[in-house]
């Protein structure tokens, strides 16, 4: 069942697409780049769209909390016991965007009682929006067309195939150890966390692992809602559920304290212990 009305769903989709198309337009003009932290960048485009999205969602959902990546004061709402929290990333994959690549997105996720229940991921360069949630379904729209079901592609475990999404930082640190445990692992990556998750949902990869502790609440809320709706397992290296409650989130950066494994059940069951072993091998060095 849709957790919001059909009219509000339409307004959300229109707002996200409008903001995403603005990224392309604004990218053709001059914009500034700032470093928020080590290898953590923000542009004036992120900031402008963050303000727009915050205003719209606060108007649409006045009784809910709205947390956006670039509005630091909004993070206090995470601790104010809202039943529902909207987590917004105006430009996910900023590094890819800065470098002129196409794999960035606008993302919105909805938490209810600190659990992800719905998400929206819009890829501006491709003019594609993916959305849905638990007990609702998965959908996509192209340009301003009508929604249609998004077909997920469950993968049955094969000892000969393991396409693994992994960021370049994690691959640099853990890649050799993972291949030692899983010789058939094939690594590849792209910018946006949400677009990586969609690669698994649509069957282009079997697993996505995230190990370096930098991923934030607004990066994960929407994508993990879609992953769970597709039937993927979302867990830690130890097999525990991913937590979204305040005690599981670093209070200053809003980064997850946990490692993240997202994949098809057969692959997670077969390979999660090997991934855990690979990471432990590196930790001992």
pLDDT at site 31: 86
Q: Dig out the tokens for 69 from the structure.
A: 């990546």
Helices and strands counted in the chain (H then E): 7, 14
Sign, Cα dihedral of 250, 254, 255, 260: positive
Which residues pair with residue 115 across a beta bridge?
112
- pLDDT tens for residues 112-167? 999 999 999 999 999 999 999 999 999 999 988 899 999 888 889 998 999 999 99
Residues of the chain with pLDDT under 70: 1, 285
Per-residue pLDDT at 101: 87
Task: CATH 3.30.540.10 in the chain: give the residue spans.
Answer: 6-149
Output the CA–CA distances (angstroms, integers) from residue 180 to 22, 176, 192, 214, 278, in the order listed. Answer: 45, 6, 27, 25, 8
> What's the pLDDT at 30?
84
In this prediction, residue 199 carries a pLDDT of 96
pTM: 0.95
The confidence score (pLDDT) of residue 21 equals 95
Which part of the chain has CATH 3.40.190.80?
Answer: 162-284
- Given the candidates 3.40.50.970, 3.40.47.10, 3.40.190.80, 3.30.300.30, the CATH classification of the domain at 162-284 is 3.40.190.80
- Count of beta carbons in the 10 Å neighbourhood of residue 136: 17
pLDDT, residue 96, reads 87
As assigned by CATH, the class of the 6-149 domain is alpha beta
pLDDT value for 42: 83
Classify 188 in phi/psi space as left (phi over 0), alpha (psi -120 to 50) or beta. Answer: beta
Token duo for residue 244: 């979204």
For position 285, what pLDDT does the model report? Answer: 67
Residue from 221, 218, 207, 204 nearest 262 by CA: 207
What is the predicted pLDDT for the residue at 2? 76
């Amino acid at each position: 069942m849709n957790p919001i009305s059909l009219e509000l769903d339409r307004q959300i989709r229109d707002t996200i697409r409008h903001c995403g198309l603005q990224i392309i337009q604004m990218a053709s003009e001059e914009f500034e780049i700032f470093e928020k932290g080590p290898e953590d960048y923000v542009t004036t485009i992120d900031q402008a769209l963050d303000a727009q999205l915050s205003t719209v969602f606060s108007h649409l959902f006045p009784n809910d909390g709205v947390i956006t990546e670039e509005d630091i004061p909004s993070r206090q709402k995470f601790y104010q016991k809202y039943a529902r929290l909207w987590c917004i990333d105006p430009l996910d994959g900023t590094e890819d965007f800065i470098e002129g690549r196409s794999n960035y997105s606008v993302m919105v996720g909805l938490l209810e009682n600190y659990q992800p229940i719905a998400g929206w991921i819009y890829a501006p360069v491709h003019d594609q929006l993916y959305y849905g949630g638990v007990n609702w379904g998965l959908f996509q729209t192209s340009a301003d067309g009508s929604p249609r079901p998004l077909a997920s592609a469950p993968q049955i475990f094969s000892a000969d195939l393991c396409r693994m999404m992994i960021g370049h930082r994690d691959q640099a640190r853990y890649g050799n150890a993972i291949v030692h445990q899983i010789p058939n692992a094939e690594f590849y990556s792209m910018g946006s966390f949400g677009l990586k998750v969609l690669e698994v949902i649509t069957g282009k990869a079997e697993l996505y692992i995230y190990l370096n502790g930098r991923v934030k609440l607004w990066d994960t809320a929407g994508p993990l809602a879609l992953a769970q709706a597709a039937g993927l397992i979302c867990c830690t290296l130890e097999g525990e559920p991913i937590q979204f409650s305040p005690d599981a989130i670093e209070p200053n950066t809003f980064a997850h304290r946990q490692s993240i494994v997202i994949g098809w059940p057969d692959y997670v069951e077969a390979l999660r212990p090997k991934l855990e072993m690979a990471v432990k091998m590196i930790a001992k060095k």
